[in-house]
A and B are shown apart, each in its own frame.
Chain A
């Protein structure tokens, strides 16, 4: 390993983990001198009984019930953020609790930007006033995250993505200050996740860890997080899919996803996320499923640049040290086993992804559009090999039909 000439590692979030870790929530709130938190979640989690569970814990701690907002859409959007920010100010809240997955957590981060950075007497609260690089230059108000999908790692990252429907664009916020104050990892929060989603979000977490370990922004601290994350995910993902009620493997997955989040938040990702983000936004495919399909192809594409790293990872993915190609084969066979365990729902080719009406979500004519759009995704700057339109199209075609990449073609293209 070589030391990077410059590296910065930021992970300010306190992590409370364990079975029954939720019991620590009231104590945590009291230790932060928080009196009037705003609890954000979505309707699905309310219906699944998770909101009730959290409120019960708060009440058991003899704290007043928090103000609750459950109208968060699956894709966090600007209008919702501004609406919540006004509610926060109006009700004199002093902190935020986010119960949910990526969308709820990103919404909470964005609300925290507005309520922390806007002038105290501002009449109009608008997230758009704080977009752009280095706009957030101060500590934000307390934010406690209770993640419910062991996958996105959002509870550990410095990023929030919010959709601006009016202008049809995605607003990206990046700042060290976006990391939550504390996060509680409790298996009770992920127990209701169905097996095929457990598989998909688990593969998203695995992709975070592997891309963090192989991309250009890696550093020894993120490496430590990645390796530990991979170990925990590999040891527990299949078991958790097969035994959804097993608390111990659920908790281990949540910890693995959290460590992977810390890793990629400090190193960045690469081609798999570059292409995956675009497949997700154009074809509406679940992010985790995109990641699991694209992961072996992205690694194959980068192989000649990351042979050493993949060889090191074989210890974790194959159980013994093997050649780099062995790591990729291990991921393919993990995907195959997950497909079996989820009765075919965890598909391994883009061709096989279905939408709600059981029609193909990705069509061949989508692929050139995805390739153009993907070039605009910032994450490809950290990919170890350069990427152009033809490369992405080639990779997409392979992932669509499920044939491995011709390594000779790739290397020749970059000579």
Chain B
């Protein structure tokens, strides 16, 4: 019988966080014997980021390679163009600046380039038989939950294999921008969801418990600190929980939310914020159960932050996020969630998902606000 002491925990990326973290990139590139990195950045992001990266590299032998600016609505042609650019410049590494889509783009072009595959052939990618280029992920507060993992999601393209882990994660406050509060609130919901899913007792191996503990510590800091420091803490929380989460099968909240986001009904964070409380209400916090003990432990450790109760932390983060969604909009989201999840149920034999949805349906139908729409 397998126990929580039986596990295979995949090696994860190195993490460098704090003041001048960007400046460690040249040293890291040299250690991979790389000197010609492809730079990926969002088109709409300020060009000061490129300048900062250049400044960090100016005293080393690194010459920044081609810079690809990723538009908001990325097309298949854009992907092919990036891969062509990589071939023309014979790049030997990738630096992706920013969180979210751009890291999935980095993982996708890395796989296509190293296997010499076209985008249409992605399904038959030989996942275990190629060595990817070193991928450095420079993260900001727009987390989608996949940055530090072995997964990518880009429109209809979804991949999941161990060659997709980035090599090095950089968290530097120079990457943070003001006015991204909505995005960071969503990031907190995504991280919290992944942490709670990783905390499910029967999957809680000791090494996963360590990473989720760290994530909760960081989320606590996110609540209690000034803005830039808070964002640094948030990204650290996201990375820690992603490392844990990428070593378990995704839980029901993540699975449903991802499907809903792919179908374009709502964002993943919106779906998670709606589903998470239902997921948590199903978990049994029996006195003395491993789950109860784990949460108790965190509550004790976090005694230096204003709240010392993990459930309160969860509701605070949810409230913080809900501030950004209009109430009527929330009902709309729940309605479409239920319609979609009903459809999903027919194709899924995951009992956890079934229970979650059944609970959600019975809860929502009992709410007068939803009555008419159902």
Chain A residues at the B interface, C-beta cutoff of 8 Å: 1, 3-19, 21, 24, 31, 137-139, 176-177, 181-182, 220-221, 223-225, 227-229, 232, 248, 251-252, 255-256, 259, 308, 312, 315, 321
The stretch from B12-20, B174-182, B327-335, B336-344 touching chain A is: B12-20
Chain B residues at the A interface, C-beta cutoff of 8 Å: 2-3, 5-12, 14-21, 24, 30-33, 128, 205-207, 209-215, 217-218, 220-221, 225, 229, 232-233, 236, 240, 297, 300-301, 303-304
Task: State A57–B207 Cα separation when bound (angstroms).
Answer: 26
B118 to chain A, nearest CB (A): 26
Would you call A8 and B14 a contact (CB within 8 A)?
A: yes
- Knowing A3-B221, A15-B207, A18-B6, the reply to whether A224 touches B128 (Cβ < 8 A) is no
- Knowing A224-B240, A227-B210, A228-B210, the reply to whether A31 touches B15 (Cβ < 8 A) is no
Q: Which 8 A-B pairs have the closest CB atoms?
A: A18-B6, A224-B214, A6-B18, A224-B213, A228-B210, A224-B210, A14-B11, A15-B9
- Knowing A17-B5, A137-B30, A220-B236, the reply to whether A9 touches B14 (Cβ < 8 A) is yes
B92 to chain A, nearest CB (A): 14
Supply 7 further A-B pairs (C-beta < 8 A) apart from A24-B8, A181-B11, A312-B300.
A6-B21, A9-B16, A12-B11, A221-B15, A224-B210, A248-B3, A255-B5
Would you call B19 and A1 a contact (CB within 8 A)?
A: no
Closest to A320 in B: B300
Would you call A228 and B14 a contact (CB within 8 A)?
A: no
Would you call A17 and B14 a contact (CB within 8 A)?
A: no
A3 to chain B, nearest CB (A): 6
Task: State A4–B2 Cα separation when bound (angstroms).
Answer: 38
Task: State A5–B171 Cα separation when bound (angstroms).
Answer: 11
Task: State A138–B29 Cα separation when bound (angstroms).
Answer: 10
Contacts of B30 in A (CB 8 A): 137
Closest to A185 in B: B5
Contacts of A181 in B (CB 8 A): 11
Task: State A139–B131 Cα separation when bound (angstroms).
Answer: 14
- Knowing A1-B304, A221-B240, the reply to whether A8 touches B16 (Cβ < 8 A) is yes
Would you call B214 and A223 a contact (CB within 8 A)?
A: yes
Task: State A177–B12 Cα separation when bound (angstroms).
Answer: 14
Closest to A24 in B: B8
The 8 Å CB contact of A14, one of B10, B20, B33, B213, is: B10
A198 to chain B, nearest CB (A): 17
Task: State A176–B24 Cα separation when bound (angstroms).
Answer: 13
Would you call B218 and A220 a contact (CB within 8 A)?
A: yes
Contacts of B304 in A (CB 8 A): 1, 308
The 8 Å CB contact of B209, one of A3, A139, A228, A308, is: A228
A240 to chain B, nearest CB (A): 13
19 residue pairs from A and B, CB less than 8 Å apart: A3-B221, A3-B225, A3-B229, A4-B18, A7-B16, A7-B18, A11-B12, A12-B12, A12-B14, A17-B8, A17-B205, A24-B8, A224-B240, A225-B214, A248-B3, A251-B5, A255-B5, A259-B206, A312-B301
Task: State A147–B293 Cα separation when bound (angstroms).
Answer: 30
The 8 Å CB contact of A225, one of B2, B15, B128, B210, is: B210
A318 to chain B, nearest CB (A): 12
A412 to chain B, nearest CB (A): 28
B77 to chain A, nearest CB (A): 35
Task: State A162–B46 Cα separation when bound (angstroms).
Answer: 50
Contacts of A15 in B (CB 8 A): 7-9, 207
Would you call A137 and B31 a contact (CB within 8 A)?
A: yes
Would you call A220 and B8 a contact (CB within 8 A)?
A: no
Closest to A16 in B: B8
Closest to B293 in A: A231
- Knowing A17-B6, A259-B206, the reply to whether A321 touches B300 (Cβ < 8 A) is yes
Would you call B206 and A228 a contact (CB within 8 A)?
A: yes
Would you call A5 and B221 a contact (CB within 8 A)?
A: no
Closest to A219 in B: B17
Task: State A159–B270 Cα separation when bound (angstroms).
Answer: 45
A147 to chain B, nearest CB (A): 15
B231 to chain A, nearest CB (A): 11
A260 to chain B, nearest CB (A): 11
Would you call B5 and A223 a contact (CB within 8 A)?
A: no
Contacts of B303 in A (CB 8 A): 312
A221 to chain B, nearest CB (A): 5
- Knowing A12-B14, A17-B7, the reply to whether A228 touches B213 (Cβ < 8 A) is yes
Would you call A14 and B217 a contact (CB within 8 A)?
A: no
Residue picked from B11, B24, B304, most chain A C-beta under 10 Å: B11
- Knowing A12-B14, A224-B217, A228-B210, the reply to whether A18 touches B7 (Cβ < 8 A) is yes
Would you call A18 and B5 a contact (CB within 8 A)?
A: yes
Contacts of A221 in B (CB 8 A): 15, 211, 214, 236, 240
B3 to chain A, nearest CB (A): 8
Contacts of A220 in B (CB 8 A): 214, 217-218, 221, 236, 240
Residue picked from A8, A177, A228, A259, most chain B C-beta under 10 Å: A228
A394 to chain B, nearest CB (A): 32
Would you call A224 and B211 a contact (CB within 8 A)?
A: yes
Contacts of B233 in A (CB 8 A): 3
Residue picked from B5, B217, B221, most chain A C-beta under 10 Å: B5
Task: State A255–B204 Cα separation when bound (angstroms).
Answer: 14
Task: State A259–B31 Cα separation when bound (angstroms).
Answer: 26
Contacts of B212 in A (CB 8 A): 224
Would you call B18 and A5 a contact (CB within 8 A)?
A: yes
Task: State A225–B206 Cα separation when bound (angstroms).
Answer: 9
Closest to A182 in B: B11
Contacts of A252 in B (CB 8 A): 5, 206
The 8 Å CB contact of B31, one of A139, A223, A248, is: A139
Contacts of A259 in B (CB 8 A): 206-207, 210
Closest to A228 in B: B210
Task: State A251–B4 Cα separation when bound (angstroms).
Answer: 11
